[in-house]
């Protein structure tokens, strides 16, 4: 038991560093600039390299109040988001999963890191690439053979139902309003999660995702004290968070 707690504390302390690596990799993929992988962390406003204290994962953003020491402007919270998410998912895995073995831990945490990266990509580019969502869908369909958490038929029906229903909603909204409400990347991601969690949990998944997205928008409006109805809020992060939490519960 002492060995378990010692390993847990080490992983919790190390997880924000993993979040930093994920954010840096996704920013490189989003901007398609190879030099970004070799550059030190820098301010996204003045582009000056960050001081050592500003590179401390998670805590530096809090201590510096999100501001650059050089220009005193607010830095992008992407790294903070990735570091905090990496920490929270690790704590969730350790606290909710019973009799966790190493292979299960790797699976749960790897999937969470993939979804964190996908969320960051959606935040930066406002799109979810097929090269990520389609393999994720195929993995969801195949999981029933090696995890045995849901039936294969439920997985297939979940993928079809999730994709079909949201595609109809997206098409109807576009025809009625003339603009995009749900992107096709979101449709494919919902279909993928339908494969991972099965059709029975699809209503809960969509409800949880929608409520968390609405709460975020309301809290953001209160914090910024301004509204912009034309501003696009990526839905991918809320889908990823809700889907991962619900999928984790299917394994317990």
| Distance of alpha carbon 104 from the chain centroid | 19
49 φ/ψ angles, rounded to the nearest 5 degrees: -60, 140
* pLDDT at residue 236, as a whole number: 93
Instruction: Label residues 203-239 b or e (16+ Cβ within 10 Å = b).
Output: eebbebbeebbeeeeeeeeeeeeeeeeeeeebbbbbb
Contact 220, 213 (CB under 8 A): no
Closest-CA residue to 93 (of 252, 202, 242): 252
Q: What is the model's pTM? A: 0.88
* pLDDT at residue 227, as a whole number: 55
Digitized pLDDT (tens) for each residue of the chain, 252 residues in all: 455 666 778 788 889 999 988 998 898 888 775 555 555 566 666 666 777 676 778 887 887 777 777 776 677 788 899 999 999 999 998 887 667 788 888 889 999 999 999 999 999 999 999 999 999 999 999 987 888 888 999 999 999 999 999 999 888 877 877 676 688 899 999 999 999 999 999 999 999 999 999 898 888 888 777 655 556 789 999 999 999 999 998 887
* pLDDT at residue 172, as a whole number: 85
Residue 169 token pair: 């909603």
* pLDDT at residue 6, as a whole number: 64
Residue 243 token pair: 């889907």
């Amino acid at each position: 038991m002492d060995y378990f707690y010692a390993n847990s504390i080490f992983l919790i302390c190390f997880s924000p560093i993993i979040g930093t690596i994920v954010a840096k990799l996704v920013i490189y993929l989003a901007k398609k600039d190879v030099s970004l992988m070799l550059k030190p962390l820098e301010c996204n406003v003045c582009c000056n390299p960050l001081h050592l204290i500003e590179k401390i994962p998670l805590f530096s953003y809090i201590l510096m109040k999100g501001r650059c020491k050089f220009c005193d402007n607010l830095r992008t919270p992407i790294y903070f988001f990735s570091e905090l998410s990496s920490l929270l998912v690790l704590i969730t895995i350790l606290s909710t999963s019973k009799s966790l073995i190493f292979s299960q831990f790797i699976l749960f945490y790897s999937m969470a890191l993939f979804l964190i990266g996908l969320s960051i990509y959606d935040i930066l580019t406002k799109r979810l690439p097929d090269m990520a969502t389609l393999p994720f869908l195929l993995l969801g369909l195949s999981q029933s053979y090696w995890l045995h958490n849901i039936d294969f038929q439920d997985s297939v029906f979940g993928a079809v139902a999730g994709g079909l229903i949201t595609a109809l909603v997206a098409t109807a909204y576009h025809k009625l309003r003339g603009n995009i409400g749900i992107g096709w990347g979101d449709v494919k991601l919902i279909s993928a999660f339908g494969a991972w969690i099965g059709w029975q949990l699809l209503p809960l998944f969509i409800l949880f995702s929608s409520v968390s997205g609405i709460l975020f928008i309301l809290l953001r409006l209160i914090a910024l004290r301004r509204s912009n109805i034309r501003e696009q809020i990526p839905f991918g992060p809320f889908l990823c968070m809700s889907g991962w939490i619900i999928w984790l519960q299917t394994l317990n």
